[in-house]
Chains A and B, each alone.
Chain A
């Protein structure tokens, strides 16, 4: 080979290497993932000691809890146990909280929490309460946003799969709950293939002062799957819209059998009309069996009431109460825009996003523009109620939130993206991928009359390669996206707990000022509370021993107890005497077949212990309360049954 040919071959290397460099710089062809760019980090960075702009309340799904995050930072602040027991603080284990989880089926330690919904005044989140539904054993819970604790759980009778819940009306007059899994009503032993399944749409009245819930009435409806709901607002105030799928009423292989029809329905319920019918006495009183559980903040204790009656409205007897709006194709979400005029359906198998018009709906009702009537429910003509369709939005549209500036944001599960489109023109203006398979999405106040349209948060079902792998079971995730500009912009991606379905957010300033710091000790009305160390004592009543115990940095009173016998049932009623912010005490004793208790300042909680063997058992404070926390411990002496060891107790006596 001559030098010349060598050079000539080398010449070829020049363009080849340029190509390699270009390829390397542009990245190999293949799936592209958006990364947060530019000033994204500073947009979500909250300097140490400073506060987030919003509280975000995320449902825990199968964790049965609600998690509280700060937005935009994505920092987790609290896990609120609602439908699931929480060994971390004794929720669902203590005699004080067990009544909250009572149902007509007995005590249930778990449920599937789907949709957190903030109470509203005049169509705007007011920061008083958060409602959340239990899907499996139908219930609705209320969380007090002063204490961030579950204070009430109401069971829904004549229902199954409480999914279209707990959406509120404009002034929280009602919280709704609809049946996703239709069943025989009342329940009975019939063949599954029977035709007699039905559902109920439930309206829970909320007391405007106390927040206390009461099942006001149920509407008995055909046995479809009532999936989601949202209340009207502004002009459509007085109505609630429920989507339903499975109008085929299949009982088996629903993925095929419930997907046959082109259109299912949105049920539009006129609840003001319902109130008229109730006042006229046009309801049936049905026997039912359901629990109403309330936590008394002063007694630090919940009580259960078993209820036996419910008022039922039947559509065929109540004209004008309910209409069906045909909606393609197994619709999932139903969302009402801030003006109250547009009703957006997430037809999850549809190729369009249908938007109904409230004013056209009223006109169609007035003109009796009906396709047919099902069990007394008029089905309005699709074209008569349709405002427009968003064409080619994405695959699997599920849920829509609004920014208050004329745009809607729809989550598309199958194509894994958020689609931004304009109300009125129905044109898609932007889209952004999510990682992966988005379910719900949230904009602070995004289902209200006045959204704080700064961010949209995607709630994703699948994370796969997004985080460090943790074996087969992976977290779900949330993605915070900036929506202040023309184009949506990914800012942050953070893992979430359980499986968040819906979530809502509210400006921090609305809640912060009301957040309770300590429970006032003087207001403690727990029957076993002791308010001064001098009152601490032990009382025996047969086999029951009640320890009236105090906790104060850094000792329990009493901390030495003798005279307990095998077979006794020992109740440690521990009152935290602290009135200092963020000084809880914990209590646990060796061998107790239950969870620890965490007692907030001014609170009383009870741990029940049944010692099985003689011996000396230590107990201690589980919450690092002070410099001498490790010294916050004591002993209980357990003697055989029938012992002559007298019952004695004390603290500090050598």
Chain B
């Protein structure tokens, strides 16, 4: 990679550090009685927002209480992201195309697995209901949407990435775009865009 794309890539990778201080995902519930909305935030290593209130409301439909300690993911997600950042830095330092590609592939895999896991938890909480719940609606499940909005009885559930999630997507897209761009430039110069081509013409100072 040339200097500018390489710096861009480094910046994108380092911005993942913000995931440690910004929430990844936001679930908002609104209802006629809750025009102000009830919010739950998902971070790398914890949950925040009006959890007690959400659990209090959920007990009517027999949903298990959402508690941080139920999610083993919170214990290793920071390590995964930390590792991803380190690997990214390594890729920029070594500046080898195959390493960038590996990083992108890993990040993509991690995102897909993460979303799948999120879906699985949503399914689990939404379907695995207490048979003694006060409110039972035949055929009704309360799985929140993976992304987007969905009507669940009187509540509308909104599920969208929060600041951290947006940064992660942005970071991925930026690195992917830079990487692709560099490949195209390299191809135009008559070099094959293959992983074994190691260094670009312009070394980083």
Interface residues in chain A, defined as those with a beta carbon under 8 Å from any beta carbon in chain B: 552-554, 578-581, 626-628, 631
Contacts and interface: CB of A to CB of B under 8 A. Distances in A.
B134 interface: yes
B134 A580 contact: no
B52 interface: yes
B103 to A, nearest CB: 44
B53 interface: yes
A283 B56 CA distance: 61
Contacts of B53: 579-580
Interface in B43-90: 50, 52-53, 56-57, 60
A578 B38 CA distance: 14
B60 A628 contact: yes
Given A579-B52, A579-B53, A580-B53, A627 B36 contact: no
A627 B56 CA distance: 13
Most chain-A CB neighbours within 10 Å: which of B36, B56, B135?
A: B56
Contacts of A554: 60, 134
Given A553-B60, A579-B52, 9 more contacts: A552-B56, A553-B56, A553-B57, A580-B50, A580-B53, A580-B56, A626-B60, A628-B134, A631-B134
B32 to A, nearest CB: 12
Nearest to A628: B134
8 contacts: A554-B134, A579-B50, A579-B53, A580-B50, A581-B36, A626-B60, A628-B60, A631-B134
A631 B133 CA distance: 13
A626 B56 CA distance: 11
A631 B50 CA distance: 25
Most chain-B CB neighbours within 10 Å: which of A552, A579, A580, A628?
A: A580
Contacts of A579: 50, 52-53
A578 B36 contact: no
Closest 10 CB pairs of A and B: A580-B53, A628-B134, A553-B56, A579-B52, A552-B56, A579-B53, A627-B60, A628-B60, A627-B135, A581-B36
A508 to B, nearest CB: 18
Nearest to A578: B56
Nearest to B132: A652
Most chain-A CB neighbours within 10 Å: which of B36, B60, B135?
A: B60
B177 to A, nearest CB: 44
Nearest to B38: A580
Contacts, number: 20
A579 B52 CA distance: 8
A325 B164 CA distance: 72
Contacts of B52: 579
Interface in B17-58: 36, 50, 52-53, 56-57
A628 B57 CA distance: 11
A210 to B, nearest CB: 31
Contacts of B135: 627
A579 B57 CA distance: 12
Contacts of B36: 581
Contacts of A626: 60
Contacts of B134: 554, 628, 631
Most chain-A CB neighbours within 10 Å: which of B50, B53, B135?
A: B53
A594 B61 CA distance: 36
A491 to B, nearest CB: 30
A517 to B, nearest CB: 10
Nearest to B134: A628
Contacts of B56: 552-553, 578, 580
Contacts of B50: 579-580
A414 B100 CA distance: 91
A578 B52 CA distance: 9
Contacts of A627: 60, 135
A536 to B, nearest CB: 16
A554 B52 CA distance: 14
A579 B55 CA distance: 12
B56 to A, nearest CB: 6
B53 to A, nearest CB: 5
Contacts of A581: 36
Contacts of A580: 50, 53, 56
Interface in B94-151: 134-135
A579 B135 CA distance: 22
A84 to B, nearest CB: 32
A100 B57 CA distance: 36
Contacts of A552: 56
B50 to A, nearest CB: 8
A625 to B, nearest CB: 11
A626 to B, nearest CB: 8
A304 to B, nearest CB: 36
Contacts of A553: 56-57, 60
A470 to B, nearest CB: 34
A554 B57 CA distance: 10
Contacts of B57: 553
Nearest to B36: A581
Nearest to B154: A627
Nearest to A580: B53
A5 to B, nearest CB: 78
A523 to B, nearest CB: 15
A581 B50 CA distance: 12
Nearest to B56: A553
A580 B37 CA distance: 11
A631 B60 CA distance: 12
